[in-house]
Structure 1
Amino acid sequence: MKLNNYEIKGIIKVALLFFAFLIGFSSLWFTNNLVKKLASQERDKIATWANATRQIASSDGDNDINFIYEIIQGNTTIPVILTDEKGEVIGSRNLDSTYNIVTDRKIEKKIEDMKAQNEPIEVLLEDGKKNIIYYENSLLLSQLKVYPYFQLGVIGLFLVMSYFAFSYSRTSEQNKVWAGMSKETAHQLGTPISSLMGWVDYLKESENNVPQKVLDEIDHDMQRLSLITERFSKIGSEPTLVSYNLYDVLEESVTYINNRTSIKVDISLKNEELFKKVSVNVNKPLFAWVV
């Protein structure tokens, strides 16, 4: 079965939409897997950091303190807060410089946020006490979580803009085609209409006993055809506005319609005096078309 252009365009649109969803799903799946791996690695780093902290707290001088300090100092990306079992802040790392762990009440809110984001890690000390490590995702991990949605948003915005651009281009092209066809129609109608008007003039001047009323009505219809031709020729062009009395323009259309409708139908203008006082800038052929 042969498909027409509209069916082919529909299939192409569905295919493009399918591939767009496939790209979006693949991006989300890949990024989510990457985020999970990074989150696992960060928790392992914090666990190592916690173990180093425990060894520092219980060190008797036999351990390699410098190596342990290097482990602790090696964390340069993950925000960490260390508290005792009573919740008193002992230390912190990679926090914003606006935090003051001694006097700032915001530190308590920060601890609650960290607790909600990641499960705290308890560090058991040799004296039976324990410290608690709170931490949150690094800036890189937080950005990676948001990145796929930002990427999809940009892709979606690009697709929407492309769709409207192509739609506008297609509509503009169609309008140009219709305007060209209208002008060509007006041009083709011009020749027979001119010929018919000549024949009407011939009938008026000849002695063929054609009633004058018939000739007048034929003449009115020819003028109407000329008006229609002029309307078609103006499609796609900037209309020229001329000042007319509103009553004269409306009365001309009403008179033409009344002469060609049933005698049971009467079309008339109300508030004629008001219309006679109004002048408007219109394109008469196009305005009469609307009326």
Structure 2
Amino acid sequence: MKFGPLSNETYKKILRFYLVMGSILLIIIFILYTNNYMQKRHLEAQTVPCLYGEYVHFKIEKKSDSGLCDYVEENIIGKIDYPVIVTDAEGKPLSWKNIGVLNNTDYNSLPESDREIIREKLCELKSKNNEVILTPVNDKSKIIGYVYYRESGDIELFKIVRYIELTVVFIFILIAFYISSLIKKIEKNNIFISLVKETSHQLGTPIASLIAWIELLRLKEPVPETVKVLDFMKTDVELLQKISNRFGKIGSKIKLKEEDLLQVIESVILYFDNRLPRMNNKIKIHLISKLKNNKIIMEKELIAWTLENIIKNAIDAMVEKGGDIIVLVFQSKDTVYIHVKDEGKGIPKSEFHKIFEPGETSKKRGWGLGLSLAKRIAEDYHKGKIKVLESNAGEGTTIEIALPVLKNIPGSDNLDIEV
């Protein structure tokens, strides 16, 4: 069986798989290595306290050579830099280091305050579970004492460092996946921008020709009914021209100016009112405005385009059963809100964000550009927000557009925005 060449997407999936598996393998190796290292260091850490305990007991019993005792005290015991307490078999402290009490006298000769410090430190070290049992070489069943200690600072630090390093590895993996996802989105976005601009370029000539042909027909056929039809045709062709111009603005600089938002919304609703389905089930669009001041800083053609996309989707969702579309406009503090509520099929909650991604569509026809461009216009160009405010299956959906009022910005009546 022969297989064709792998696609770029397949290569990306394979690369992503190996990246995940490599990261998991790296984490496993890191954990195994650090655990093995910690076990070795733990055993090494037990050796010195054990030697210290044996030294104390041998010195008490006067079994060790004085020269050897001096060597052990200077080169081994003297280098202990962590708390250690040696006790006899009954738990009475015999010797101690690095606990804040000098180790130059018998425990019973110490002041009560120093003995209290030793007892408290002994309880603390016992709770650490770092205990060495001292037994004679020739009788392992007999216990002659205990050594309690806290592991050295470098081991304690390494315990913390390994978790920090593991966290850094996870963060690195997350960043790698985020960058990969971001690059994919940028590539997808650039493809759609190129497609949009090319569409605008290709539509320009035939639209201009259609306008010319309509004017010619108007001159040759001055019959009232024909003129009325030609007027509707001209309106539709002019809308095509507007759409072409809007496509051309994607990826270019635009100017934001103070415009009448209510006027823009009314013109969009009027356009749809003249073309809504009139058979069987009816669809009606209602506008409710609570604005005190209709003027905001915006690019009116792009805002109109955004509303057209949202209302068109609402109509498509209601085409089978009809119903009402409510457009509510109001202002709260420095933000103007536009709510478009329909009585359509509804949107699953899992797809609330997905519907605004380029190429995402549930329709048989279309590129899935409408809502993605609406999101770009609202958020990137006007620094606002667009989202699914609420949606219930079989009851309808409410889309919210939030646009900031930019009147307080100096020169806001002529803002250049790179889009």
Which amino acid is 2:250 matched to?
I
For structure 1, list consecutive stretches of 5 or more residues without a partner in the other structure: none
Name the counterpart of 2:66: 65
Task: Give me the whole-angstrom Cα distance separating, in 2, the residues matched to 1:17 and 1:266.
Answer: 51
2:215 aligned with 1:226, yes or no?
A: no
Are the counterparts in 1 of residues 50 and 132 from structure 2 also a CA contact under 8 Å?
no
Question: 1:88 and 1:177, CA in 2 relative to 1: closer, same or farther beyond 3 A?
Answer: same
Name the counterpart of 1:112: 123
- Structure 2 matches for 1:30-109, cutoff 5 A? 30-59=33-62, 63-73=64-74, 74-75=76-77, 76-77=79-80, 78-84=82-88, 87-93=91-97, 95=98, 99-100=100-101, 103=113, 105=116, 107-109=118-120
Name the counterpart of 2:295: 279
- Structure 2 matches for 1:192-271, cutoff 5 A? 192-207=206-221, 209=223, 211-263=226-278, 265=282, 267-271=284-288
Which amino acid is 2:70 matched to?
Y
Question: 1:255 and 1:69, CA in 2 relative to 1: closer, same or farther beyond 3 A?
Answer: same
Q: CA deviation at 1:52?
A: 1.7
Aligned pair count reads 282
Secondary structure in 1 matching 2:131: coil
**What's the C-alpha RMSD, in Å, of the aligned pairs?**
2.9
Secondary structure in 1 matching 2:255: coil
Task: Give me the whole-angstrom Cα distance separating, in 1, the residues matched to 2:43 and 2:187.
Answer: 56
Instruction: Provide the identity percentage.
Output: 27
Which amino acid is 1:14 matched to?
F
Are the counterparts in 1 of residues 131 and 146 from structure 2 also a CA contact under 8 Å?
no
- Bigger relative contact order, structure 1 or 2, given CA contacts below 8 A and separation 6+? 1
Q: Deviations over 1:208-267 (max 9, x none)?
A: 757110110011001110111122112234543232323321221122111111336464
Task: Give me the whole-angstrom Cα distance separating, in 2, the residues matched to 1:165 and 1:84.
Answer: 62
Task: Give me the whole-angstrom Cα distance separating, in 2, the residues matched to 1:18 and 1:47.
Answer: 44
Q: CA deviation at 1:199?
A: 1.1
2:20 aligned with 1:6, yes or no?
A: no
Are the counterparts in 2 of residues 54 and 123 from structure 1 also a CA contact under 8 Å?
no
For structure 2, list consecutive stretches of 5 or more residues without a partner in the other structure: 103-109, 137-141, 308-419
Q: CA deviation at 1:180?
A: 2.0
Are the counterparts in 1 of residues 196 and 247 from structure 2 also a CA contact under 8 Å?
yes
Which amino acid is 1:140 matched to?
D
Question: 1:24 and 1:290, CA in 2 relative to 1: closer, same or farther beyond 3 A?
Answer: same
Are the counterparts in 2 of residues 50 and 121 from structure 1 also a CA contact under 8 Å?
no
Are the counterparts in 1 of residues 46 and 132 from structure 2 also a CA contact under 8 Å?
no
Question: 1:108 and 1:193, CA in 2 relative to 1: closer, same or farther beyond 3 A?
Answer: farther
TM-score (norm 1): 0.83
Task: Give me the whole-angstrom Cα distance separating, in 2, the residues matched to 1:14 and 1:114.
Answer: 48
Which amino acid is 1:284 matched to?
K
Task: Give me the whole-angstrom Cα distance separating, in 2, the residues matched to 1:141 and 1:196.
Answer: 82
Question: 1:123 and 1:50, CA in 2 relative to 1: closer, same or farther beyond 3 A?
Answer: farther
Name the counterpart of 2:159: 145
Name the counterpart of 2:133: 121
Q: CA deviation at 1:182?
A: 1.0
TM-score (norm 2): 0.60
Question: 1:55 and 1:241, CA in 2 relative to 1: closer, same or farther beyond 3 A?
Answer: same
Secondary structure in 2 matching 1:263: coil
Q: Deviations over 1:142-180 (max 9, x none)?
A: 333333322221122222222223322332232222212
Secondary structure in 2 matching 1:83: strand
Are the counterparts in 1 of residues 133 and 143 from structure 2 also a CA contact under 8 Å?
no
Secondary structure in 2 matching 1:110: helix
Task: Give me the whole-angstrom Cα distance separating, in 2, the residues matched to 1:40 and 1:268.
Answer: 79
Task: Give me the whole-angstrom Cα distance separating, in 1, the residues matched to 2:73 and 2:118.
Answer: 21
User: In terms of Rg, which structure is larger?
Assistant: 1
Question: 1:238 and 1:88, CA in 2 relative to 1: closer, same or farther beyond 3 A?
Answer: farther
Name the counterpart of 1:186: 200
Which amino acid is 2:123 matched to?
E
Q: CA deviation at 1:88?
A: 4.6
Question: 1:252 and 1:110, CA in 2 relative to 1: closer, same or farther beyond 3 A?
Answer: same
Are the counterparts in 2 of residues 179 and 236 from structure 1 also a CA contact under 8 Å?
yes
Task: Give me the whole-angstrom Cα distance separating, in 1, the residues matched to 2:149 and 2:156.
Answer: 13
Which amino acid is 1:185 matched to?
T
Task: Give me the whole-angstrom Cα distance separating, in 2, the residues matched to 1:189 and 1:130.
Answer: 98
Q: CA deviation at 1:194?
A: 0.9
Task: Give me the whole-angstrom Cα distance separating, in 1, the residues matched to 2:236 and 2:292.
Answer: 26
